[in-house]
Structure 1
Amino acid sequence: MTEIIKHECGIAMVRLLKPLSYYQKKYGSYLYGLNKLYLLMEKQHNRGQEGAGLACVKLHARPAEEFIYRERAIGTSAIQEIFANIKDQIKNTPHDTADADWAALHLPFAGEVYMGHLRYSTTGRSGLSYVHPFLRRGNWRSRNLLLCGNFNMTNVDEIFNSIVAQGQHPRSYADTFVLLEQVGHALDMENQKLYDRYKKEGLDDIAITKSIEENLNIADILKKPARIWDGGYVICGMTGSGDMFSFRDPHGIRPAFYYADDEIVVVASERPVIQTTMNLSVEQVKELQPGECLVVNRRGNIHTEQILPPRNYSACSFERIYFSRGSDIDIYKERKELGRYLTSQILESIDYDLEHTVFSFIPNTAEVAFYGMLEGLNNYLSEQKFYMLRNATAPLNDSELKHILSLKVRSEKVAIKDIKLRTFIAEGDTRDDLAAHVYDITYGTVQADIDNLVIIDDSIVRGTTLKQSIIKILDRLHPKKIIIVSSSPQVRFPDCYGIDMSRMGEFIAFKAAIELLNDRGMQHIIEDVYNKSKAQQNFPKEQITNYVKEIYAPFTQKEISKKIARMLTSEDITSQVEIIYQTLEGLHQAIPNHPGDWYFSGNYPTPGGNRLVNNAFINFVEGIDNKRQL
């Protein structure tokens, strides 16, 4: 994706199941768990570069000693900053830090339960106060709650109103704050229930406290609040007494993976991160299932429990196309397939003239799809060679044979990202000129006015970088035709589950459809969709219909693609420009196990999605530039 899209956060959790002295003896450090957390976070740094945080719970801290430690920072170097701060705290402790048993009691961040988080804001809120983990304090360890997650709730208003109705007074409307208070209240109620039970049994207060800590039922605590949640989420939590959980939404929209043995439990947003950190095979890492919660209690007992029944499975396909690490075995194969399924459209566009076509990719994230595209083209070329040899009407001479055997798919490294755009040193037209030089080209790779040039991208969302930079740069090679290929379908609808794509006017496909409606005198469709959306604006989310689909209904995908190509081609471009998008059918063939395609189809898995697209279209027509009004 040539434009940067902020996307899901990253989560990481570690639970040590042995005393710290065990890891000191076996691995040479009682900070084994902290070191593993660092690796899990660093290898997911692409998932959040606005901030990072971690928390640690010590299971054996004594009264009057801290048992929860937390460190957070903002900025692209947040991971390095928080771990450097922790290192300084450990280094400055005036005691023998080589003693694992002493460290388990006293040393900062030398604990058994860890939680890490990497943040990308998708709501416009920023600052340290919005960086996870969030902490809800109490004077009993079992009433303390730490929460972090990769999530976006579409019905914060309902959740907010439900806790206000309980008599609470939340200090913020943000979904993380509201969830913290909602789950925290449920934790309080579970504590109180157990307290009343053990009090009736005649236990004294110290015994009651210990019994509560040993018998908290995390699944029961989550079940009531989760009933009203609408969104895509993986929510992770720790209590001050040492319970740990990770809970995935019932639609499976957001991903989570885990590994457990008799020494350690780890959780992360991506499978290869756990594989690399723990040196595991793909089969050893398990995926948290929709509606399922992984729980590790204070005693170290591990189990999974179904908190909510699975609903229409809608694991995010965009996660596979662009956001996740391509080193995952399945994601790598899927991205290659996305490229391969574009072969027929590409061949049609170049009139099957492989001899005079050069293939390349922009940016580096599109490289795997590029390999798949080449495989598809090479398969086609092999069939053509076989046909020419098999169906020759006369014996071929050496020159003819050499010509057939020399036919190949021409691939080159045509474009290179050369500089980072520093917008603060240029504005207006000067800024646009600077943007045009973000990429550089490899001269001599294309025969001017003879060769076609095909460039594959993993997705084209806004098209701004294509128009301002890439097409202009490629045009300097003077190809006969420039064909930009997107391995994902047209992004037509906003997201509400954790990716920063919430405004209709951002999408080049939506702009193209609106322009086509205006070009053809069909403005009444825009007005009709607005009126129908406005009429249902105050409906319960379950009763809202996505009428925005009607904006696209009059046109084929090719018609919209042609319009996009015209919109992205400035007057100074001499080459013919064409845009090719993946089809929905190709998407689902390439990624069959992740059917969530609401960005492309408008088929939202939860009712809150229809409310989002309803409000996003109203805001577009009314000229309101709000990022999200759910």
Structure 2
Amino acid sequence: MSDAIKHECGIALVRLLKPLSYYQEKYGTPYYGINKLYLLMEKQHNRGQDGAGIATIKFDVKPGNRYISRYRAMGSSAVADIFEYVQKKFAAVNKAYPVESKDTDWLKEHVSFTGEVLLGHLRYGTHGKNSIESCHPFLRQNNWMTRNLVVAGNFNMTNVDELLQQLYELGQHPKEQADTVTVLEKIGHFLDDENQELFDQFKKDGYSNIEISAQIAKNLDVAKILTRSAKTWDGGYTIAGIFGHGDAFVMRDPAGIRPAFYYQDDEVLVVASERPVIQTAFNVPLGAVQEIKPGHALIAKKDGTISQEMFRQPATQKSCSFERIYFSRGSDADIYKERKELGRLLCPQILQAVGSDIKNTVFSFIPNTAEVSYYGVMEGINTYVRNYQKDVLLKRADKISDLELEEMINITPRFEKLNVKDAKLRTFITQDADRTDMVQHVYDTTYGIVKDHDDTIVAIDDSIVRGTTLKQSILTILDRLNPKKIVIVSSAPQIRYPDCYGIDMSRMGEFVAFEAAISLLKQNGLAHVVDEVYQRCLASITKPKDEVENYVKAIYEPFTDVEISAEIARIIRPHNLKAELEVVYQTLDNLHKACPNHLGDWYFSGDYPTPGGNKVVNKAFMNWVEGKNVRAYFSN
């Protein structure tokens, strides 16, 4: 993607189903669980580079001994830093206690991070809140083992203010306005309730306090706790948690917005945000990895019982299509096919943009995530050429000259790597005071391929958010090759609306499509539409969220997609660009054809999967009108 956007976050959970001694005997290491957690997190590094954290819980620890371990770190090397810290601990123990360290029972008693349940999290910070305190996992601690709670997740709630009010009404006093706090305290409150109910029940039955603790751990109803906690949540979420005694869960929102995959055998239960990382870390086939169903929680009891239970009625599934276009690793079998299909489906629009002049067109892509879509374009263009050759030859078989025949047979599309991304330069320029000038050189190009003033360059991007990098760098670099025309092709549709479920796209003014629509309104004497939409948004503030519509759609209604694309091309065009410029976007229909199981498209269509989404988009528009450069919802 030319304009990188951030996403929060990635999770990994490992639940060992055998004693540590089993892994020592079979795999030659008592650290099997922590090693696998490292692999799962490192393979998901794409999902969070601002911070990371891990937590582990040990089973059946004697009173007075630690059973919860946690470590968090900041920065792009956070995962490596965390596991270097843990491995140094292990190495020191192995050196100081060479005999004892071979005894898994001794290790578990004396060494941290040797538990049976391990939870990891990778974080992308949003809007300036980026500190160690913001890194998951979060702890809610208590002297009662079954009241301890560890939580980490990939989520955003749209109704944090409402959830905070509910906590106030319960008598709590949260220390900050953040969805992580509301989630932690909501689950914690109903965990406390469940503990108290069970305590009262077993006390009445004559159990001693020590016996009651064991009975609570055995009988804790995890699904009931999650059902009560999530009753009023509005958002997209995959949330993982562990209770102090060892019960663990991973819950997924009713619309299946955020991803969650799991694998289970007789040795381990593992959950991650992406499927291929599980396949790689555990060497299992595609079919062995399953998705957690929307509105369900995968629950692993301390006794090893594993079930998937509904905590909220599933809604119409609207899994995030941006996961398929950009965020998730392209090594997933289905995502790879979908990204190729996104490229292939663009071919009719591309051919129209270049006048079907294959001979004088150079096809390329903008590194690095657009590469797979580019392969789809290659397939589509090659298919077009073969069909064109076949059609012409069949129709003119008895009339075609030898020269024409030779030219027809030798039509070969030109696929080249024109754009080269200089990652080291990008790291440097983020700290350079004169970034505007230096950013032009984030990308370089391959010289000597494009014919001066004859060729058209077609460059595939996976999506265009702001268009800033295109304007400041890519287009200027490509123009140095002296093409007749440049066609920028987005494998995603126009991004028109903010996300509020975990992607860092929350402000209307950041979208070049929105800027183009506003510009067209002014050009066509329709500036009054802005005020009319603002007034509708303003009037909806006091309405129940279920009654609120996305009024911002009216900004785009007067114009076709093609008109907005043309205005985007004008906006992102550098003032000194010599070549003709056209911008081509994927259609919504083709997006759904390519990704039929991931129909969440609210950032393109404005059709939000939860009522809170409509309130957020209206608030984001109001913020833009009022000149407030803030997000339209609270977050961690």
TM-score under structure 2 length normalisation: 0.97
What residue in structure 1 maps to residue 250 of structure 2? 246
Contact 1:124–1:627 under 8 Å retained in 2? no
How far apart in 2 are the matches of 1:491 and 1:437? 26
What residue in structure 2 maps to residue 189 of structure 1? 193
1:573 to 566, 577, 583: 577
Say which is worse superposed, 174-183 or 481-490, in terms of deviation: 174-183
Q: CA deviation at 1:214?
A: 1.4
Q: CA deviation at 1:393?
A: 5.1
Q: Work out the number of aligned pairs and report it.
A: 628
- 2:442 is the alignment partner of 1:438: yes
Q: CA deviation at 1:201?
A: 1.3
- Partner SS, residue 180 of structure 2: helix
How far apart in 1 are the matches of 2:319 and 2:252? 11
- 2:426 is the alignment partner of 1:420: yes
Q: CA deviation at 1:424?
A: 5.6
- 2:21 is the alignment partner of 1:21: yes
What residue in structure 2 maps to residue 366 of structure 1? 370
- Partner SS, residue 460 of structure 1: coil
- Partner SS, residue 417 of structure 2: coil
Q: Relative CO higher for 1 or 2, CA cutoff 8 Å, sep ≥ 6?
A: 2
How far apart in 1 are the matches of 2:428 and 2:307? 49
Q: CA deviation at 1:106?
A: 2.2
What residue in structure 2 maps to residue 161 of structure 1? 165
What residue in structure 1 maps to residue 526 of structure 2? 522
What residue in structure 2 maps to residue 455 of structure 1? 459
Give a deviation string over 1:584-621, Cα, whole Å, max 9, x none.
11111111111100000000000111111111101111
How far apart in 2 are the matches of 1:426 and 1:519? 37
- 2:241 is the alignment partner of 1:237: yes
- 2:621 is the alignment partner of 1:621: no
Give a deviation string over 1:183-202, Cα, whole Å, max 9, x none.
01111111111111111111
How far apart in 1 are the matches of 2:200 and 2:185? 22
How far apart in 2 are the matches of 1:438 and 1:164? 49
Q: CA deviation at 1:482?
A: 0.2
How far apart in 1 are the matches of 2:30 and 2:432? 51
The amino acid that maps onto 1:422 is: F
2:322 to 301, 304, 318: 318
- Partner SS, residue 185 of structure 1: helix
- Partner SS, residue 338 of structure 1: helix
The amino acid that maps onto 1:127 is: S
The amino acid that maps onto 1:348 is: Q
How far apart in 2 are the matches of 1:244 and 1:396? 73
Contact 1:243–1:298 under 8 Å retained in 2? yes
Q: CA deviation at 1:87?
A: 1.7
How far apart in 1 are the matches of 2:603 and 2:565? 16
What residue in structure 2 maps to residue 91 of structure 1? 91
How far apart in 1 are the matches of 2:564 and 2:527? 16
- 2:9 is the alignment partner of 1:9: yes
Q: 1:424 to 1:584 in 2, by over 3 A?
A: closer
How far apart in 2 are the matches of 1:123 and 1:627? 8
What residue in structure 2 maps to residue 532 of structure 1? 536
Q: After TM superposition, list the pairs within 5 Å mapping 1:138-149 onto structure 2.
A: 138-149=142-153
- Partner SS, residue 458 of structure 2: strand
Q: CA deviation at 1:364?
A: 1.4
The amino acid that maps onto 2:91 is: K
Contact 1:232–1:249 under 8 Å retained in 2? yes
Contact 2:324–2:335 under 8 Å retained in 1? yes
Give a deviation string over 1:232-270, Cα, whole Å, max 9, x none.
000100011000000000000000000111110000000
How far apart in 2 are the matches of 1:548 and 1:124? 26
The amino acid that maps onto 2:68 is: I
What residue in structure 1 maps to residue 35 of structure 2? 35
Q: After TM superposition, list the pairs within 5 Å mapping 1:196-595 onto structure 2.
A: 196-392=200-396, 394=398, 396=400, 398-418=402-422, 419-420=425-426, 422-423=428-429, 426-427=432-433, 430-595=434-599
- Partner SS, residue 477 of structure 1: coil
Say which is worse superposed, 541-550 or 42-51, in terms of deviation: 541-550
Say which is worse superposed, 251-260 or 542-551, in terms of deviation: 542-551
The amino acid that maps onto 2:10 is: G
TM-score under structure 1 length normalisation: 0.98
The amino acid that maps onto 1:336 is: K
Contact 1:421–1:438 under 8 Å retained in 2? no
> What value does the CA root-mean-square deviation take over the aligned residues?
1.2
Contact 1:122–1:498 under 8 Å retained in 2? no
How far apart in 2 are the matches of 1:320 and 1:240? 35
Q: CA deviation at 1:123?
A: 4.6
Give a deviation string over 1:490-534, Cα, whole Å, max 9, x none.
000000000000000000000000001111111011111111111
Q: CA deviation at 1:398?
A: 4.5
How far apart in 2 are the matches of 1:228 and 1:378? 52
Contact 1:61–1:106 under 8 Å retained in 2? no
Give a deviation string over 1:357-394, Cα, whole Å, max 9, x none.
00000021001000101111111111110012111152
What percentage of aligned pairs have identical amino acids?
Answer: 54
Give a deviation string over 1:380-416, Cα, whole Å, max 9, x none.
1111100121111525455433322211111001110
How far apart in 2 are the matches of 1:608 and 1:623? 22
The amino acid that maps onto 1:540 is: P
The amino acid that maps onto 1:83 is: F
- Partner SS, residue 245 of structure 1: strand
How far apart in 2 are the matches of 1:139 and 1:425? 46
How far apart in 2 are the matches of 1:68 and 1:453? 57
- Partner SS, residue 359 of structure 2: helix
How far apart in 2 are the matches of 1:628 and 1:622? 12
Which 5+ residue runs of structure 2 have no aligned equivalent?
none
